[in-house]
Amino acid sequence: MDRNAPMNMKDIAQELGVSVATVSRALKDSPLISEEMRKTIQSFAREHNFYPNAIGEALRHARVMPIRMIGVIVPELTHYYFSSILTGIEEATFARGYNIMVSLSDEKYEREVRICENYHRSKVCGVIVSQAKDTHNYDHYQKLIDAGIPLVFYDRICTGVNASRVVVDDYLGAYNAVTHLIESGCQRIAFYGSPMQLQISKNRYNGYKDALLKHGLAVDEKIVRVCDNRGDAETITPEILALDHRPDGFFAVNDDTAIGILYTVKRAGFKVPDDISICGFTNGQRAIACDPMLTTVEQRGRRVGEEAAEILMDKVEGLLPIEKIEKRVVRTRHIIRGTTK
């Protein structure tokens, strides 16, 4: 090991043949660790110039601190769902005396890595994050955890990192929405989703697929597309409508995509919902600003933000063990409006 390189708790654990949790407890003088082991770990840490996150450690031992800063990473700000999550985070943190530092990844992996590095250097006491669409390596998340910085994922979770997370019931939300389309008469339903490396995309696709199979309908990959924004929906939908056996229903991963479908379907001369039914996933303000108003799945973003913030602050203050993995699911609600029968 390079003695001049920055250390983290994982490095110490590997060098001494113990768990990361043991290192964390020893550095906090936990009585759960023997005095001999505590001294060994603390001595090794000092020799290698490792010190735990200063603000986080202070907050875990004192309820009042001049700076209580939490880093928040948002993939995009124009999306209603993310802005509603941010509102929930802000309300929950403000109520407990914390400030938030918000950074935009703009759906870019490289930018996300730099933000995590900046948060580490800024010594935030924790990070709340929804990963970018093209994130393919998770070392930057693991470095935060190894440095003793609590990390909570929301919405788009990273299955490659063992961290707390708050999600909505994507599978059940999609399953119920597609079931509604089928029970209202649709027999051929297209699916527009995000890239499949995202867990939410897999969950919503599986809900879609299982609803079809449950009702004896085949899954046709020709009408399953990667499409998660209005612009792409307006480009792709004419191709789908031109198929010999066109869909009579669409399920979209978010409301903006569903509205792009609605606009294109109406422009092509079809009636909604008489000829084609459409369902989105968000229930933002745009869902009631279109004609007809959009049937959708309500995600309750504000509640997701509140839950993520509460988990993080509880970890920072020692109300939850920092190594404990919290997994919470916020229930969705199906909102039926004019785009379905």
Tell me: the pLDDT tens digits for 108-135?
A: 999 999 999 999 988 899 999 999 988 8
Measure the CA–CA gap between 193 and 201, rounded to whole angstroms.
6
Taking CA 193 as the corner, what is the angle to CA 226 and CA 290, rounded to the nearest 5 degrees? Answer: 110
Helical (H) or strand (E) element with 328: strand 327-330
Q: Which residues pair with 104 in a beta bridge?
A: 74
By mean pLDDT, which of 8-17, 211-220, 255-264 is the weakest?
A: 8-17
Helices (H) and strands (E) in the chain, counts: 12, 12
| Positive or negative torsion for Cα 268, 270, 273, 277 | negative
- 8-state DSSP, 7: P
Predicted confidence (pLDDT) per residue in 183-216, tens digit: 999 999 999 999 998 899 999 999 999 999 999 9
pLDDT at 174: 98
> Measured between alpha carbons, how far is 174 from 208 in angstroms, rounded to an integer?
6
Measured CA to CA, the distance from residue 287 to residue 306 in angstroms comes to 23
Proportion of the chain above pLDDT 70, given as a percent: 93
- Which pair of tokens denotes residue 105? 């990844």
pLDDT of residue 30: 81
Greater confidence (134 vs 229) lies with: 229
**Nearest of 258, 226, 286 to residue 80 by alpha carbon:** 286
Does 6 have pLDDT greater than 90? no
**Confidence class of residue 51 from pLDDT cuts 50, 70 and 90?**
low
Give the list of residues 6+ apart from residue 26 with CB closer than 8 angstroms, or none: 33, 37, 38, 40, 41, 42
**Which of 308, 270, 302, 311 has the alpha carbon at shortest distance from 283?**
302
pTM of the entire predicted model: 0.78
Given the DSSP bridges, would you call strands 333-335 and 296-298 parallel, antiparallel or unpaired? antiparallel
How far apart (Å, rounded) are the C-alpha atoms in residues 285 and 277? 20
Among 142, 138, 129, residue whose Cα is nearest residue 71: 129
- Amino acid 111: pLDDT: 96
Give the separation between CA 170 and CA 119, rounded to whole angstroms. 30
